[in-house]
Amino acid sequence: MSLRSKALALVEVLLRVPPLFVVDEFLKISLGLPVAGGEEVPILSNVTIDHVDVDGDANYYDANFYNAFIFTFLKFLICCMGCMSSLCIFVLHTKHLIIVYLYLMSVATVFVSYWTNVSAIKQIQALTLASAPSTSILEDLLNLNMKNLLDLDGPGILVIQNFAIQFALSFFFKNIHLGPREPIVQKFLMLSFIAPSLLALLPVPPNLLHHSPVFSALLPLVLVKYVLWSSAYSVIHVIYAGYQHGRIFVSNYGLSALVETEWMRLNVPCVLRVFWVIRVAEHAVLLLVDNLDEEAEEGLKVSTLLAVQSLASLAKSLLVTGCETITAVLGMTSVISFFCHYIGSFFQWILLTDEEEDKSIGTVSAILFYILALQTGLTSLNPEKRFIRLCRNFCLLFTALLHFLHNVVNPMLMSLSASHNPSTHRHVRALGVCAFLIIFPISLLVYLWSQHSISTWLLAVSAFSIEVIVKVIVSLMIYSLFLVDAYRSTFWEQLDDYVYYIRAFGNTIEFCFGIFLFFNGAWILLFESGGAIRAVMMCIHAYFNIWCEARAGWSVFMKRRTAVNKINSLREASFEQLDRLDDVCAICYQEMHSAKITRCNHYFHGVCLRKWLYVQDRCPLCHDILYKIDADVNKDSDVGNEENSNNQNLLLEEEPDLLLGEGVR
């Protein structure tokens, strides 16, 4: 991307930041609604009741309540309309966004010019009355009396300053206003802006000079109003065209495609990051200025320890104010996503992998943090509790990152061990990441349990940390088994059983932790902090991490049990038969020291044939039925055989021994 393209992209991002600040300001006042425990107090809170008059006082309080309700409703309605207008401006195309900003800047220029003229005229009149000069400003100007004109306490310097300011404002307004650009109108615009300064030079009546700012603002205001009324049709047309585009896009591609397209067009993550950084920088500057003022007043010499404490207090204040509204939480979420993305990229660099699916760590972290913020009611807490809750949410996020890193390193461990990869440094890198995934959770648990008393939050963090430790140990054990198998010269038929038992143990532990977390969340929902979002998340957890896990594990267990019973119904090949055959298994192409004989007289490894039975019940070579269905066969051989035996192309989407508990977790 060229430098010009980067600059244009940055400008477009900056253009979309101001609407977020407008929405943020409306959310700071809770959309005009009274907040329990907040700064807003009921209108009747200062009324003292001396006596009770059923007729008069009842009507009085009813009228006050009605007026308060109407006032609150109108304020809420105005705030909602302001938020909706800001969001509509936010989603505009760049060319329309520039037009909106030009119009708003022209309006702001008119009001700045008016208030500057008002302030200057008031000061000029006050100085004129106070000093009562024998000569006017015009006479000083004609006589080139520079001493009086440049006197800092005289009215002359104010006229010159106001003239320069109004000239700059008129030049700015002439170039940005969207009204008709007739030559005569452009000339009168400049005269209109500087008219009060010119009148201040002349000996005009005080009333005329006092009202001159109003008359000077009439022409630019007429142009601004003309632009507003003449553009009404265009505004309606743009809104309707946007609605039509969205409706057609949704009908053709779906709502998710529209959201994704608009998300990319608006560059929402980058806009949110810039908004949050600017917002935090603003608060940081204000806090630093306040601290410097206090230190200057007290005349204190700040020591190093006090400076560190001041920086810690500053960081705490910035974190608290950085998540006080929904828009601020969204901005913080985007910043966290940015850092988590580079954390994932760092571990990918360590592991020498570049899988696209592993790069979603930033998105997953953002979604998780935002759900935690909504679930814990982060924005509604007071500053001290908000900081504590924010730190706890960060702990939960860190443990989730550990799980994600395990999902990155686990397939790499399996690949390195199963593919007989001789690259030592790749093994060392993967094992180093596994060591980190064990040491860091243990260190975190030791610190948390030593510094905090037992609570539902601490139990949840402990469960997640122990779970990731168990998953890493399971991965290392399977990795070790595969390495041992790689250096064996003969086929290890029990390897599949060992891998199954280890994974079954690990998935059982995870399943138990899932049940524990469900009951822990139920306790929080019922006795600590309930809420609709927490209840929904508990339902999702119960379905995906408990019900689906249990169903998938039971399905794998029944398939394995059925396959074992079917294999046991087949004849075992003797050593003489294997010597006479002198062939390899047609499934794994490994030498056969033991084998099972099918009814079609084909030889296979028992473990290979068992895995094949997970797919279908027919011989891999001739597609005949693999086993006899006799009355003497164990009745359990038919349990779980729900697949159609004639379906020869049925394939599982995952390895059968990975189905137990891996699922959606």
- Cα–Cα distance measured from residue 605 to residue 592, given in angstroms and rounded to the nearest whole number: 7
Q: E strand or H helix at 597, and its extent?
A: strand 596-597
Answer yes or no: are the C-beta atoms of 660 and 507 closer than 8 Å.
Answer: yes
pLDDT given at position 595: 86
What's the whole-model pTM score? 0.77
Q: Is the dihedral of CA 567, 569, 575, 581 positive or negative?
A: negative
Six-digit token string for 299: 């005349």
Q: Which residues contact 569 (CB under 8 A, 6 or more apart)?
A: 627, 628, 633, 634, 637
HSE (CB half, 13 Å, CA atoms) of 599? Answer: 14
Say if residue 549's pLDDT is above 80. Answer: yes
Give residue-wise pLDDT tens across range 387-434: 999 999 999 999 999 999 999 999 888 888 877 777 888 899 999 999
Strand 603-604 with 596-597, pairing: antiparallel
Answer yes or no: are the C-beta atoms of 506 and 474 closer than 8 Å.
Answer: yes
Six-digit token string for 92: 């505009």
Contacts 24+ apart (CB under 8 A), 389-393: 390/319, 390/320, 390/323, 392/457, 392/461, 393/369
Six-digit token string for 97: 């966004």
Q: What percent of the chain has pLDDT over 90?
A: 32
Helix 548-568 and helix 495-523, axial crossing angle in degrees, nearest 10? 160
- Cα–Cα distance measured from residue 124 to residue 144, given in angstroms and rounded to the nearest whole number: 19
Q: Which residues contact 148 (CB under 8 A, 6 or more apart)?
A: 133, 135, 140, 154, 156
**Residue 273: band (very low, low, confident or very high) from pLDDT cuts 50, 70, 90:** very high
The residue-averaged pLDDT of 56-61 equals 56
**In this structure, which amino acid lies at residue 466?**
I
Cβ-in-10-Å burial (0-12, 13-18, 19+) of 535 comes to middle
308 or 458: which leads in pLDDT = 458
The residue-averaged pLDDT of 102-124 equals 91
**Residue 645: band (very low, low, confident or very high) from pLDDT cuts 50, 70, 90:** very low
The pair phi, psi for residue 596, each rounded to 5°, is -110, 145
- Cα–Cα distance measured from residue 487 to residue 420, given in angstroms and rounded to the nearest whole number: 9
Give residue-wise pLDDT tens across range 341-387: 999 889 988 988 877 666 688 888 999 999 999 888 888 888 899 99
**In this structure, which amino acid lies at residue 556?**
V
Nearest to 90 by CA among 308, 271, 283, 354: 271
- Cα–Cα distance measured from residue 531 to residue 534, given in angstroms and rounded to the nearest whole number: 5
Residue listed under structure tokens 């003309």: 226
Say if residue 262's pLDDT is above 60. Answer: yes
Q: Is the dihedral of CA 23, 29, 33, 38 positive or negative?
A: positive
- Cα–Cα distance measured from residue 86 to residue 83, given in angstroms and rounded to the nearest whole number: 5
The residue-averaged pLDDT of 15-25 equals 93
pLDDT given at position 123: 84
The superfamily (CATH) of domain 488-665 is Zinc/RING finger domain, C3HC4 (zinc finger) (3.30.40.10)
Q: Which stretch of 45-54, 542-551, 570-579, 597-606 has the lowest confidence by average pLDDT?
A: 45-54
- Max Cα–Cα distance, the chain, nearest Å: 134
Q: Which stretch of 175-189, 208-222, 259-273, 623-637 has the lowest confidence by average pLDDT?
A: 623-637
Kindly report the average pLDDT of the chain as a whole number: 81
- Cα–Cα distance measured from residue 609 to residue 611, given in angstroms and rounded to the nearest whole number: 5
Give residue-wise pLDDT tens across range 512-535: 999 999 999 898 888 887 778 888
Q: Which residues contact 159 (CB under 8 A, 6 or more apart)?
A: 120, 124, 137, 197, 200, 201
- C-alpha distances (whole Å) from 320 to each of 277, 389, 390 are 14, 10, 8
| CA 348 remoteness from chain centre | 22
> Where does 38-93 have alpha helices with state H?
56-90
Six-digit token string for 377: 């009611």
**In this structure, which amino acid lies at residue 472?**
V
